[in-house]
């Protein structure tokens, strides 16, 4: 319920949202879930890089972009780096690869 009310509506405002595959949407949902802004990160000044990458569909830059958002020098940095790498991998995973893994 919280997902549908709090997180999906702002994410669905991302101009390319409906063009994204389920795994890409899931990666962005995970990304947004971890911030004070929640899913309202798109277009906010502190999130210019991910906003640009999404607007221009620069998927070759998605991993380095996700990893920029890790709270450097904090106690959470290592955990966030790991999380961001997993989110980037999910974003870049081919959907058919996800299907094969879930059926084995």
User: Tens place of pLDDT for every residue, the chain, 104 residues?
Assistant: 677 887 889 999 999 999 999 999 999 999 988 775 678 899 999 899 999 999 999 999 999 999 999 888 888 889 999 999 999 999 999 876 555 554 54
Residue 69 covered by a domain: yes
Domain extent, residue 28, equals 2-99
Residue 57 pLDDT: 97
Single pTM value for the model: 0.84
Q: Residue 28, exposed/middle/buried by CB under 10 A (0-12, 13-18, 19+)?
A: buried
Residues 18, 52, 87, 95, CA torsion sign? positive
Residue 84 covered by a domain: yes
Tally of structural domains, the chain? 1
Give, to the nearest 10 degrees, the angle between helix 22-33 and helix 95-103: 90
| Nearest-5° Cα angle at 58, 22 to 21 | 10
Residue 104 covered by a domain: no
Residue 74 covered by a domain: yes
């Amino acid at each position: 319920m919280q997902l549908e009310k709090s997180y999906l509506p702002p994410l669905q405002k991302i101009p390319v949202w409906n063009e994204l595959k389920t795994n890409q949407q899931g990666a962005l949902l995970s990304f947004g879930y971890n911030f004070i802004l929640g899913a309202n990160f798109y277009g906010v000044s502190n999130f210019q890089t991910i906003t640009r990458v999404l607007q221009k569909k620069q998927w070759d830059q998605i991993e380095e972009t996700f990893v920029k958002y890790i709270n450097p020098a904090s106690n959470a940095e290592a955990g966030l780096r790991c999380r961001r790498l997993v989110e980037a991998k999910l974003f870049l995973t081919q959907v058919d690869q996800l299907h094969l893994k879930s059926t084995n």
